[in-house]
Amino acid sequence: MTCSSVDLKAYMLGELQENEKGLVAAHVRECASCGEEMERLSLTHLALTSLRDEEVPRRIAFVSDKVFEPRWWQRMWHSGPAMGFASAALLACAILAHGYMRPAPMVGPSSTVNTAAVEQRVAAQVNDRVGSIVAAAVAKAVADTEARQDRKTTELLADAEKKFDLERKEDRLATEANLEIIRKEQAQMYMASSGLEVRP
């Protein structure tokens, strides 16, 4: 190994492989100039490593630093209960805002809503409407029923009258027949009592 091929600095810095280290070490033992150079490099390294690390003057502001803390929305986003509470609060705010921002009702000058009166009025209107509809339906049903009953009664009366007429006719015919029989018998009895010949 020649002086030009020996990398003393790499040797001193621990960058050589084991086999290279052995070759360099052997060369340094045999070569005076490379030995002196190696000693100067070692003394330089020794002086450099005498410089001690300083302590950090203050702790790196990490955990206590606001920069590292998650922001309020990040904390809330990762918290289920907090997110639920926020959602409920938002919904409540929306309802309140809607209540305050919607147009005033036309029922009166007061901006406050009398829900009981509104409910009562709506109930009365509903009752009236339902009552009228039910009444109409009932009236129609009753009229239909009465009409059906009238038709039935008329039919029954007509049937009865027809039946009575037939019966009266039968009775009259029977009566006339009986009267004819009676007149014939009276005539025979008169002829017999007067000695007259009875002609059939």
Partner 1 sequence: MIFREVEDRDLIAKARRGDVDAYGILVSRWEKRIFNYLLRLVGNREEAMDLSQDVFLKAWQNLKKLEDADRFSSWLFRIAHNEAFSLLRKNRPETSLTADPTVADRGARFYPVELTLAVQSALTRLSDDQREAVLLKVYQGFKFEEMAEILGCPVSTIKSRLYAALDLLKDTLAPIGARGVQ
Q: Does 198 bind partner 1 (CB under 8 A)?
A: no
Q: Does 71 bind partner 1 (CB under 8 A)?
A: no
**Do 38 and 10 touch, CB atoms closer than 8 A?**
no
Q: Does 66 bind partner 1 (CB under 8 A)?
A: no
DSSP H helices in 50-114: 72-77, 80-101
Task: Indicate the DSSP class of residue 16.
Answer: S
d(CA 119, CA 65): 59
d(CA 28, CA 44): 17
Q: Which of 3, 26, 29, 70 binds partner 1 (CB under 8 A)?
A: 70
Q: Which tokens hold the place of 39?
A: 């000693």
Q: Does 30 bind partner 1 (CB under 8 A)?
A: no
Q: Does 68 bind partner 1 (CB under 8 A)?
A: yes
Q: Does 57 bind partner 1 (CB under 8 A)?
A: yes
The crossing angle, in degrees rounded to 10, of helices 32-49 and 18-30 is: 120
Residue 103's CB: how many other CB atoms inside 10 A? Answer: 5
d(CA 160, CA 23): 148
C-alpha R_g of the chain: 67
Contact stretch for partner 1 (CB under 8 A) within 21-29, 37-45, 119-127, 148-156: 37-45
Nearest of 89, 124, 87, 122 to residue 105 by alpha carbon: 122
Q: Does 17 bind partner 1 (CB under 8 A)?
A: no
Binding mask 155-184 for partner 1 (x = CB under 8 A): ------------------------------
- Compare residues 1 and 37 and give the one whose CB is closer to partner 1: 37
Q: Which of 59, 71, 98, 102 binds partner 1 (CB under 8 A)?
A: 59
Contact stretch for partner 1 (CB under 8 A) within 22-30, 63-71, 81-89, 183-191: 63-71
In the complex, least distance from residue 2 CB atom to partner 1, rounded to whole angstroms: 18
- Compare residues 49 and 110 and give the one whose CB is closer to partner 1: 49
Name the residues that contact partner 1, by CB under 8 A: 9-10, 13, 15, 40-63, 67-70
